[in-house]
Amino acid sequence: MTTPSKTLKRTVGKPLTTAAIAAMKAGQILADGGIDTGAGRLKIRKRQTKTGSVSEWLYIYWGGGKGKRVTMVLNGKASRYSPKEQEGFLTIAQARELARKLQADVQAGVDPAMQRELDKASTQKAQAAAIGKLKDSKEKTLAALLAAYVTSLETKGKTKSAYDVANLVKNHISKPFPTLASTPAVQITSLDVSKILTRLVGPDAAVKKGRTALKLRSYMNVAFKLAIGAELDPMAPGGASGFELQGNPAAAVPATKMAATFQTVGERTLSVDELRCYLTRLESLPSAMHRLALELQIMAGGQRMQQLLRLTRANLTEDTFTLFDPKGKRAQPRTHVLPLLPELSARIEQLKKLSPVSKRNENGSLFASTGGSVINPETLSGVVHQISKDMIAAEESATPFRGGDIRRTCETHMAGTLGISKDTRAQLLSHGLTGVQDKVYDKGNHLKSKTVALKVWIDYLVAVNAGLDKLDTMDIK
């Protein structure tokens, strides 16, 4: 008896339909016969959840000697079934298209599961880099940029300039514009810089502060320039790099009109009678420290107030006191030694009593306020301005003058009345020393000529203050 032979038949899954998927029960998996099965199959699984059930797309394939399964992912997220196209879901047609791409990857030797891990790692790395960059951008603010510039000045020994920059930034950027100060420097525009300066010189500014605006623009310009070049400058401060600047917004803000309006060359000098009234009014100032500072300035020949206010006990010897002149493009401030004549020494001794060494005044500044900080030059400029107003009100002067005019007055009287030579005045007032001979070869401090000139100058002030009618002209050799 012959047994009928049985024929083996390969079954092919039926193409999935929306009706078949809707009829699925939780835990059931259906294969899609709508695509070839040579390099993997498309399936759908219905999974129970706390709030109901969801239908998820799966891709089944053979790799590494074993069967593997991955969920279908679109834009980095697992995709579920939807009968209609919507973001984050796949219709049957969309799932088939994605499955065919996975089949092509498998045929090309790419393992979808391994590739997904690589993509995930790459995404995490990119996200970490983006987070790091965002963190850096939050730290690389306009305030941080200007702080880096302050640090660069401090490392060059220009502590007073560093103080001036920090003070201007605090008063005219950080306080009035906290949002701009905390904005990444790379996002600062020329309009932002203009906004900062408009507050000082614009139509709505109650008091125009043109010189302050010009200084602030200059500081911002140099700070941005420093940061732009910091990447390649091995000597740039560490905090100056990493700002990723594409340009200098401060440089694009024009300064010509401001300079023409506010940075005019001063010509005001005090006459002999005005000088006498000025000296008399100094004697009656209510603040002893203000009086001593302004008297010391004029009796020392009209030294720059910014430099004089840096005096500390370490800058004094029995016979001299030393100022430091950072003006110009100097890596280190120029040492400016002056004779400590009795009239100057007497005032310095009084300043020592007013500014004793303490925890708040550890460096022994001669001009430390009660809080420990050094008097601001602008404070003394304000005192001179008030004296000028009082003199005009008392008809002792016809036109106003400011702090900078005192230095000019000193040199004018030295030259015109006392005949002190230009070279001696240059050494005494530390200006105009830019030639090769002065910068490179002449390293003497000219103390003898300075001493003679200052003695004559102080005698002249005493005579003026005493109201002597006849002032002898003296030639200083």
Q: Name the CA radius of gyration of the chain, rounded.
A: 40
For 406-437, what is each residue's pLDDT tens digit?
999 999 999 999 999 999 999 999 875 544 43
At 429 the pLDDT is 92
The answer on 286 and 411 residing in a single domain is: yes
- Whether the per-residue pLDDT at 294 is higher than 60: the answer is yes
State the pLDDT confidence band at 352, using cuts at 50, 70 and 90: very high
Q: Which residues 6+ apart lie within 8 Å of 173 measured at CB?
A: 142, 143, 146, 180, 181, 196, 216
Query: pLDDT value at position 439?
Result: 45
Output the pLDDT for position 344: 96
Q: Among the three residues 130, 158, 191, which one is the final residue of a domain in this structure?
A: 130
Whether 367 has a pLDDT exceeding 60, the answer reads yes
State whether residue 45 is helix, strand or coil.
Answer: strand
| In a domain? residue 251 | yes
What are the angstrom distances between the C-alpha of 216 and each of 117, 158, 227, 248, 456? 53, 17, 17, 14, 39
Amino acid 189: pLDDT: 95
CATH number of the domain enclosing 276: 1.10.443.10
Q: What's the CA gap between 46 and 57, in Å, rounded?
A: 9
Which amino acid is residue 23, in one-letter code? A
Do 235 and 297 fall within a single domain? no
Condensed to tens digits (0 to 9), the pLDDT of residues 238-264 reads 678 888 888 999 999 998 888 777 766
SS3 118: helix
User: What does the mean pLDDT of the chain come to?
Assistant: 84
Q: What percent of the chain has pLDDT over 90?
A: 50
Task: Say what the pLDDT of residue 329 is.
Answer: 55
Residue 134 is predicted with a pLDDT of: 45
Same domain for 281 and 380, yes or no, is yes
* List of residues 6+ apart from 339 with CB closer than 8 A: 319, 320, 447, 450, 451, 454
Q: Is 312 part of any domain? A: yes
Helices (H), 86-189: 92-107, 112-139, 142-155, 159-169, 178-181
Write out the E strands in 276-397: 320-325, 334-339
Nearest residue to 142 (alpha-carbon basis) of 168, 171, 179, 194: 179
Number of domains in the chain: 3
For residue 5, being part of any structural domain is answered with no
Residue 323: pLDDT above 50?
Answer: yes
Instruction: Output the six-digit token pair for 118.
Output: 């690589």
pLDDT computed for residue 441 by the predictor = 35
Which amino acid type is present at position 191? L
- pTM as predicted: 0.52
Give the CATH number of the domain where residue 250 resides. Answer: 1.10.150
pLDDT tens for 27-80 read 899 998 888 777 888 999 998 988 888 899 999 898 767 788 888 887 767 778
Rounded to whole angstroms, how far apart are CA atoms 113 and 413? 90
Q: pLDDT above 70 covers what percent of the chain?
A: 86
| 227 found inside a domain | yes
Q: Which of 74, 96, 130 is the last residue of a domain?
A: 130
Range of the domain at 356: 272-466
Beta strands 334-339; 320-325: pairing state: antiparallel
Confidence band of 445 (pLDDT split at 50, 70, 90): low
Kindly state whether residues 77 and 195 are assigned to the same domain.
no
Q: Are strands 89-90 and 80-81 parallel, antiparallel or unpaired?
A: parallel
pLDDT band at residue 454 using 50, 70 and 90 as cut-offs? very high
Return the pLDDT at 126: 59
Q: Are residues 408 and 292 in the same domain?
A: yes
- Sorting pLDDT into bands at 50, 70 and 90, what band is 233? confident
- Residue 166: phi and psi, rounded to 5, are -60, -40
Of residues 123, 138, 124, the one with CA closest to residue 185: 138
> What is the spatial distance between Cα 126 and Cα 341, in angstroms, rounded to a whole number?
69
Q: 328-337, 375-384, 412-421, 455-464 — which is least confidently predicted?
A: 328-337
Asked whether residue 310 is assigned to any structural domain, the reply reads yes
Which band of pLDDT confidence, cut at 50, 70 and 90, is reported for residue 127? Answer: low
**Which residue would you say has higher pLDDT here, 195 or 121?**
195
Residues 188 and 145 in one domain: yes
